[in-house]
Amino acid sequence: MSNDFYSAVKHRRTYYGISKESTVSDERIQEVISHAVLYTPSAFNSQSARVVLLLGEHHNKLWDITKETLRKIVPADQFASTDEKINSFRNGYGTVLFFEDDRVVQGLQEQFPLYADNFPIWSQQSSGMLQFVIWTSLEIEGLGASLQHYNPLIDDEVKKEWNIPNEWKLIAQMPFGKPTAEPGDKEIKPIEERLKIFK
């Protein structure tokens, strides 16, 4: 956890080329994910984030579910590119599933009705922070990752397969593994267009 924070933020990238190898042990992966879950902030300290780590055949099963779900809705003559994309995720070492516990969000809405409309928004913001922390942490460990959103298409099958509580809302999927290719070029817009300073 001692790598320079600013450097880690700068060098975090999206890796689509990943393999079924890992640069670190499963225990280390669990450690960095646990660290992120414990210490990523949340509105009202709600701690509504829930995470599932899938490794080995569980990881493969997720992407098999995703592929078969998409096969039912993507036209057959267009499925080849979808198949290739899903296989690239399945080629990874593992997947992190991000959820938000709706029970926590609803409880806060009832407790603080003045802010009821905001709690679902704040929940998503907290999840985004957690996704970023885990993504960056995995990259510090030498792993490449990307962020995917096949929810809500796969929600029911995922909950059934891994006995996930119905109140857990699937937010994102993060396949990861040892990088096999460099990320593509990234355009960065001028800071002057994105930051205003008044002093």
Where exactly are the structural domains of the chain? 5-193
Is 107 within 8 Å of 152 (Cβ atoms)? no
Q: 183 by DSSP, 3-state: which? A: coil
Q: According to the model, what pLDDT value does residue 184 have?
A: 86
Q: According to the model, what pLDDT value does residue 94 have?
A: 99
Of the chain, the end-to-end C-alpha distance in Å amounts to 35
pLDDT by position in tens, the chain (length 199): 455 999 999 999 999 999 999 999 999 999 999 999 999 999 999 999 999 999 999 999 999 999 999 999 999 999 999 999 999 999 999 999 999 999 999 999 999 999 999 999 999 999 999 999 999 999 999 999 999 999 999 999 999 999 999 999 999 999 999 999 999 889 999 999 999 999 9
Tell me which CATH homologous superfamily contains domain 5-193. Answer: NADH Oxidase (3.40.109.10)
Distance CA 132, CA 1 (A): 15
How many other CB atoms are found less than 10 A from the CB of residue 103?
13
